[in-house]
Amino acid sequence: MFDSCDSTKDVQQSLWRSTPLNLPEVSEPDVVRHYTNLSQMNFGVDTGFYPLGSCTMKYNPKINEEIVPQFNGIHPLQPAQTVQGVQAVYDFMDKALAEITGMKRFTFLPCAGAHGELTGLMLMKEYHLRRGDTARTKVIVPDSAHGTNPASAAVCGFDIVVVKSRPDGLVDVEDLKPLLGPDIAGIMMTNPNTLGLFERDIKEIASLVHGCGGLLYYDGANMNPLLGVVRPGDMGFDIMHLNLHKTFSTPHGGGGPGSGPVGVAERLVPIVDVPKTSGFHGNFGVILRACAYILTIGRENLKMAGPLATLAANYIKESLKDSYKLPIPTVCKHEFVFDGLADGGDVTTLDVAKRLLDYGFHAPTIYFPLLFHQALMIEPTETESKETLDAFIDVMHLIAREASENPELLHTAPHNTPIGRPDETAAARQPILKYSFD
């Protein structure tokens, strides 16, 4: 029909598609079977323990999922008078997150953590620009930072200056001092940092950075251990994001959707809504889930979330430190880093990670942070029972024994998964990125 509504039959001038549309032509039962089978090749939080460092894989409550469909039919451009319920959710979340973090106001436009970082950096730039302070072109990022920090700063048009970590894993204040000046827009900090260590010099860092006219950005990816205990706003941070899909229990969905609301301190409140970083109102469906979580956990249980997550991390760390190299032995927060096996021979961190899959556990984050060559970054959460942690600890010990007794078993792991280790080099050299219909 679409060709016939054309006044011209000339393909070049036609407004209609002439290329055939290749899409599956399958029955509904076959579609259901296909995706059900695919799902069975996947591992999720509901399948097993997911000690993935910096990812905060906590339990995703089921009641949260049931809330969303009640709001499915609402068009994003509906006038305020017709969306009073929706507005009440945003208002509640704004107040609740401000209370939990010590910030003043939140914008909910960012759809993920890195998107929050970018929005927050835009606010940083806007703040300086509105004061006529146009020389602040640089952002300081610690060498232990998540890769998104320098990447977000670059997208926002900032130059990146790296501040080093000391041997104890904390930001080197002496290295920071000479970097500060009238060209510094601010610093991005993750506290606790990616080694799971609380940046105890934060007060001095805040006063130094503020002293040079810069702002402090808080990367909320590691907020979980502070949940209910410490508020970034009280530590002197001016801008921060939260990952609702980490700290506030919404599911990761195999890589999204997330939500990365950005909170600001008093002096940035007038500009908080200035950067329009997504099309409508952010990921409302995710915000709803996080709202349900806050109502469920309430003020009583909130205070226990951070401490229980922190206890779990320290429990694993202390239980495994004889089998795995622990470069920084102090009390950690929600996560910590091993630098490979204590006595691993040629067994690498990758081998350990792959062997864990055989035993029904997800692997930790590996080869990050870059400060250690064989990094294994482990983060349990407050929703894992002691029994689960013990089972994980037992398997990690077992793998350490296997490494010395039968290293080949680890080099070739995993053995019990739908596929074995794929040839990633071939995938990158000769990319095949879609099905061929030839």
List 9, 174, 433, 438, residue binding other proteins (CB under 8 A): 433
List 68, 212, 271, 342, residue binding other proteins (CB under 8 A): 68
* Interface mask toward other proteins for 291-310; x: CB under 8 A: -x-xxxxxxxxxxxx-xx-x
List 132, 134, 432, 438, residue binding other proteins (CB under 8 A): 432
Using the minimum distance from each CB to other proteins, give the nearer residue, 156 or 215.
156
Angstrom distance (rounded) from CA 342 to CA 71: 52
Is 38 an interacting residue with respect to other proteins (CB under 8 A)? yes
Contact set for other proteins, span 112-151 (CB under 8 A): 112-115, 117-118, 121-122, 125-126, 146-148, 150-151
Angstrom distance (rounded) from CA 418 to CA 433: 21
Is 80 an interacting residue with respect to other proteins (CB under 8 A)? no
Contact set for other proteins, span 152-171 (CB under 8 A): 152-157, 160
Using the minimum distance from each CB to other proteins, give the nearer residue, 390 or 404.
390
b (16+ CB within 10 A) / e for 296-312: ebeeeebeebbebbbbb
**Binding residues with other proteins: total (CB under 8 A):** 185
Using the minimum distance from each CB to other proteins, give the nearer residue, 9 or 75.
75
Is 438 an interacting residue with respect to other proteins (CB under 8 A)? no
On whether the CB atoms of residues 187 and 209 are closer than 8 A, the answer is yes
DSSP state of 234: G
Contact set for other proteins, span 373-402 (CB under 8 A): 382-386
Tell me the closest approach of the beta carbon of residue 240 to other proteins, in angstroms. Answer: 14
Angstrom distance (rounded) from CA 437 to CA 76: 38
In sequence order, what are the residues at sequence separation of 6 or more whose Cβ sits closer than 8 angstroms to the Cβ of residue 161?
138, 139, 140, 141, 179, 184
Using the minimum distance from each CB to other proteins, give the nearer residue, 404 or 415.
415
Note the maximum CA span of the chain. 79
Angstrom distance (rounded) from CA 30 to CA 363: 32
Tell me the window of 17-25, 174-182, 265-273, 394-402 that interacts with other proteins (CB under 8 A).
17-25
Side by side, the strands of the sheet bearing 159-163 are 105-107, 262-264, 239-242, 215-220, 184-189, 138-142, 159-163
Tell me the closest approach of the beta carbon of residue 91 to other proteins, in angstroms. Answer: 11
Contact set for other proteins, span 228-287 (CB under 8 A): 228-231, 234-235, 243, 245, 249, 251-258, 275-286
List 174, 346, 424, 438, residue binding other proteins (CB under 8 A): 424
Is 330 an interacting residue with respect to other proteins (CB under 8 A)? yes
Tokens of 181: 């000046």
Tokens of 361: 């556990």
Tell me the closest approach of the beta carbon of residue 72 to other proteins, in angstroms. Answer: 4
SS3 273: coil
Sign of the Cα pseudo-torsion (345, 347, 353, 354, in order) = negative
Tell me the window of 45-53, 179-187, 211-219, 336-344 that interacts with other proteins (CB under 8 A).
45-53
Tell me the closest approach of the beta carbon of residue 175 to other proteins, in angstroms. Answer: 18
Using the minimum distance from each CB to other proteins, give the nearer residue, 296 or 404.
296
Using the minimum distance from each CB to other proteins, give the nearer residue, 213 or 236.
236
b (16+ CB within 10 A) / e for 92-107: ebbebbbebbbbbbbb
Using the minimum distance from each CB to other proteins, give the nearer residue, 9 or 23.
23
Contact set for other proteins, span 164-223 (CB under 8 A): 197-198, 200, 202-203
Looking at this protein, which amino acid is placed at residue 108?
F
Is 362 an interacting residue with respect to other proteins (CB under 8 A)? yes
Angstrom distance (rounded) from CA 211 to CA 295: 39
Using the minimum distance from each CB to other proteins, give the nearer residue, 250 or 404.
250
The DSSP secondary structure of 341-406, one letter per residue, reads BTT-TT--HHHHHHHHHHTT----EES-STTSTTEEEE---TTS-HHHHHHHHHHHHHHHHHHHH-
SS3 165: strand
